[in-house]
Structure 1
Amino acid sequence: MTLQISNPIWGKIDAHIDNNVDYWIKQLARLCAQPSVSATNEGIDECAELVATMLDEQGFRAEVMPSDGYPVVYAEAFGEGDGRSDKTLLFYLHYDVQPADSLELWDSPPFELTERDGKYYARGISDDKGHIICRLAALAAVKDALGGLPCNVKFIIEGEEEIGSSNMPAFVEKHKEKLAADACIWEFGGVDYEERPSQALGMRGICFVELSVQTASIDAHSGLGGSIFPNAAWRLTWALSTLKDQNERILIPGFYDNVQPPSERDLELLAVMPSEAAQLKEMFNLDGFLLGMTDSLEWKKTAVFEPTCTICGLTSGYQGPGSKTVLPAKASAKIDFRLVPNQTPEEVVSKLRAHLDANGFSDVEITLHGGGRPAKVDPDDPFVQLTNETAEIVYGKEPNVAPMIGGSGPNYPFIHTLGLPLVAAGVGYPGSQVHAPNENMRLDYFLLGTKHTARIIEQFAKG
């Protein structure tokens, strides 16, 4: 598909977006003011109802649907007018956010939209509430320019993305007829360090577990028990040391059996992607990367097509100021495994259990806190090409197309159960500080992401 750079409809769309930006920022402030922390269930039900209300206000038929976890907001509207298409576009988003901790590191209240120097600050403003408003603003602009929606539109907005979306696969399977569509715009998008639009075509899967061990009913005086009592902290440390060697090789037998290497097309895309190695080293103050890796195709491949085993947190004994001579009775570690095609969370848990048992750690318990399978989209799908072409027109730069990114999300059921191509478009940028204090969104990127989303909608209906 070759698109015309000059399109009078796009001029009308852009004017509507520019002229109504103050309204949409007020709507964003309204949404960000409602806490919705899935990790603690703070404000989840209230935010689901608010999202449904806001969708209703924009002309969508919205409902709050139950799931096996937190509620899911579903909404739909059908194309209007003589030129409407029978095609259906699905938007996947999430209304939940990360905890705002640590509050002392915020320069303004996290649940109060604050503007400073062209940036807007609030928890969830980029991940993901800014994207919800971006979609609504784009649809309103297209509807105004064309006199109605040019295609059928559906929304699915969940409340568990920040805690792993463990119930989303079952929800999609149960409601696959209701969610049926022809294509899907995913919950994120934006620009890279070079201000090029970013396209993410796949995500690694995840298996998040907690390992725990208890060796006594209570902590003991270390002088009493140090020589004769089992120590839960050491017990867990020894178990953890069996999972991975110093060369970053995961030692669980069979762990790599189902790993599918990147295709030649994947490697082609990686080869032309701009490197972020220098920016990452500067941002995180790194001396270098693991195993002495330098900026190369191998570095890019390892970053997204290698599975991982990451200790995310360790807890045992006394960790306050000063000293307290105790022998810990309990110890736990939170671990995430990032998975690549064709690994599954179920096989990882099974192999992990067998590995710990075989090494004498049958007393170490495994709790699965969530998981999802990896999945990726065909980079040559027409909807992907449409999204990339419209991005280049809006941003004036060729998109940076990633066949896979290192993070995870519930894309598998949308790709494999619903059979949809998924694309990214939106308001994010590398300095948005998602999941961190002072999460923010730049106004210029909000406008560009909204205009890009609107062009995708308009062209999708015509295709």
Structure 2
Amino acid sequence: MRPFLEEAKAVLAELVALPTVSAEGRALEAGAAKVAELLEGLGLRAELHGGYGPTVVYAEGGKGEKALLFYNHYDVQPPDPLELWESDPFTLTERDGAWYGRGTHDDKGELVARLVALRLFRERHGFLPWVKFVVEGEEEVGSPHLADYVRDQRERLRAEAVVWEAGGVDAQGRPYLYAGLKGIVALELRVRTAAFDLHSSYGAVMENPIYRLSRAIASLRDEEGRVLIPGFYDRVRPLSPTEMEVLAEIPDEAEALKAAFGVRDFLGGARNLEFNQRLFAEPCVNINGFHSGYGGPGSKTVLPAEAFAKLDFRLVPDQDPEEIPELLKRHLEAQGFHDVEVVVLEKGEHPARSDLTHPFVGLARRALEEAFGQKAVVYPNMAGSGPMHPFLHHLKAPAVGLGVGYPGSRVHSPNEHIRIQDFERGTLALLRLLELYFLGR
């Protein structure tokens, strides 16, 4: 194992040991302090910024005429369900050529890869380039304060380009980069039909909230996944010729993903360009959970008094997350569901997509191809969401994501991990990007 991998493993073990679960408010101050310590150890000046939810770690240092900004986060998802983990989620464990633990990919492993790449750059070239870091502690709960932070600190954060939090290789082992993220708004639908749970015999004359809510949910999309809410697609920005060209170049991973995910098929049997366009360039609605009534062993003859469902909408440029709940309310009322309450759970995130013709996108692609020795896949944006929009909006700089994961990393699930070979090659790709960006060679 290369020496830098041993160093990376030790640092990653320190970070994974901190249970920085933002949804539960756990160990966030300790996580911020540790990140600041690691950045200072690299030779940067680190500051802890309060007033924007959990502490934001900002760091800056190095030499050069142009700056490169790195975005990461130190918070992680809850480890539940614990019984499905094969090892302690907050103890870094190496087995079968991979590092296991909560945050190994999302996002502590990605942060460590950047620290190691910068250290390798300094060892090879004798100086640290001018870099900046923003490392927040509430990405996993929707980054509700980050837009305000970036707006207020935009002059300090100013950079010519941004390296986003994650990336890696696809299901076939090809390196990829992405230049944007979908937006998101998370909601809850609630229905109450009685003051308390009733005997199920009243089902002959009483409305059941499960039936009521299931009908409301069924009205939101068709069998192929297209959203049926009037006005939902009105703001969707048409794809540019370059974006369509990039989507067409993305290899068809439908069959590989079917096997990896254990699913029978995809909505509408989508394949090739249709699959890529729907996944990366079209909005959608998803039901996260449906809760009501009795779910224990055996039978309980009850008519529930209430039911609720959680859902999220993934958005693309130029949809507005603040408009979507209003469109949803109007749709439900028009369909006769006046009794369905719509509750916004989190401050939404705007979609973001960088200009794919920007030179920095080309540099990132070249760095991946030189490090991996094969053609890189470019995604106009990922299917997931994140707080990229304020960086593009306030800094007027492109953002590109590349990193050390793979589709089987089990992000947000038990047994989250990264393969050591992916970490190694991803770190070397970051090093190569630093050389191309700062040295021009």
TM-score class, shorter: over 0.9
Give the aligned CA root-mean-square deviation in angstroms.
1.7
Question: Post-superposition shift, 1:254?
Answer: 0.9
Question: Post-superposition shift, 1:198?
Answer: 0.4
Q: 1:435 aligns with which of 397, 401, 412?
A: 412
Question: Post-superposition shift, 1:366?
Answer: 1.8
Q: 2:153 aligns with which of 152, 157, 175?
A: 175
Q: Distance in 2 between matches of 1:29 and 1:70?
A: 22
Q: What aligned pairs does 1:38-117 form with structure 2 within 5 A after superposition?
A: 38-79=22-63, 85-117=64-96
Question: Post-superposition shift, 1:117?
Answer: 2.4
Q: Distance in 2 between matches of 1:29 and 1:284?
A: 28
Q: Distance in 2 between matches of 1:249 and 1:450?
A: 39
The yes-or-no answer on 1:328 pairing with 2:316 is no
Q: 1:405 aligns with which of 368, 382, 385?
A: 382
Query: Could you tell me the TM-score, scaled by structure 2's length?
Result: 0.95
Aligned to 1:353: 329
Distance 1:49 1:367, change over 3 A: farther
Number of residues of Structure 1 aligned to a counterpart in Structure 2? 439
Q: What aligned pairs does 1:114-133 form with structure 2 within 5 A after superposition?
A: 114-133=93-112
| Residues 267-315 of structure 1: CA deviation (Å, up to 9, x unaligned) | 211212111111111122322221233x221222122222111111001
Q: 1:32 aligns with which of 5, 10, 16?
A: 16
Aligned to 1:316: 292
The code of the aligned residue for 2:353 comes to K
Question: Post-superposition shift, 1:147?
Answer: 2.2
Question: Please, which moves more after superposition, 158-167 or 270-279?
Answer: 158-167
The yes-or-no answer on 1:289 pairing with 2:248 is no
8 Å CA contact 2:180, 2:380 repeated in 1 = yes
Q: 1:457 aligns with which of 434, 438, 441?
A: 434
Question: Post-superposition shift, 1:400?
Answer: 0.7
Question: Post-superposition shift, 1:247?
Answer: 4.2
Question: Post-superposition shift, 1:356?
Answer: 2.0
| Residues 360-411 of structure 1: CA deviation (Å, up to 9, x unaligned) | 3333222222321111112221111111112111110111111122111111
Specify the SS of the correspondent of 1:31: helix
Question: Please, which moves more after superposition, 361-370 or 251-260?
Answer: 361-370
Q: Distance in 1 between matches of 2:2 and 2:357?
A: 32
Aligned to 1:161: 139
Runs of 4+ in 1 over 4 A off after TM superposition: none
8 Å CA contact 2:171, 2:257 repeated in 1 = no
Specify the SS of the correspondent of 1:437: coil
Q: 1:205 aligns with which of 183, 188, 193?
A: 183
Q: Distance in 1 between matches of 2:37 and 2:73?
A: 15
8 Å CA contact 1:261, 1:305 repeated in 2 = no
8 Å CA contact 1:214, 1:331 repeated in 2 = yes
Q: Distance in 2 between matches of 1:326 and 1:68?
A: 45
Q: Distance in 1 between matches of 2:249 and 2:340?
A: 45
Specify the SS of the correspondent of 1:311: strand
Q: Distance in 1 between matches of 2:264 and 2:97?
A: 33
8 Å CA contact 2:280, 2:379 repeated in 1 = no
Q: 2:162 aligns with which of 184, 190, 201?
A: 184
Aligned to 1:305: 281
Q: Distance in 2 between matches of 1:306 and 1:67?
A: 35
| Residues 59-98 of structure 1: CA deviation (Å, up to 9, x unaligned) | 222222224432211111131xxxxx22111000011111
Question: Post-superposition shift, 1:156?
Answer: 0.5
Q: Which runs of 5+ in 1 are unaligned?
A: 1-16, 80-84
The code of the aligned residue for 2:435 comes to E
| Residues 108-155 of structure 1: CA deviation (Å, up to 9, x unaligned) | 1111011112211111101110011111111111122222213x2111
Distance 1:379 1:361, change over 3 A: same
Q: Distance in 2 between matches of 1:42 and 1:325?
A: 40
The code of the aligned residue for 2:192 comes to Q
Q: 1:237 aligns with which of 214, 229, 240?
A: 214
Q: Distance in 1 between matches of 2:33 and 2:336?
A: 50
The yes-or-no answer on 1:344 pairing with 2:320 is yes
Q: 1:369 aligns with which of 339, 345, 354?
A: 345
8 Å CA contact 1:38, 1:163 repeated in 2 = yes
The code of the aligned residue for 2:4 comes to N
Question: Please, which moves more after superposition, 227-236 or 184-193?
Answer: 227-236
Specify the SS of the correspondent of 1:342: coil
Q: Distance in 1 between matches of 2:257 and 2:382?
A: 15
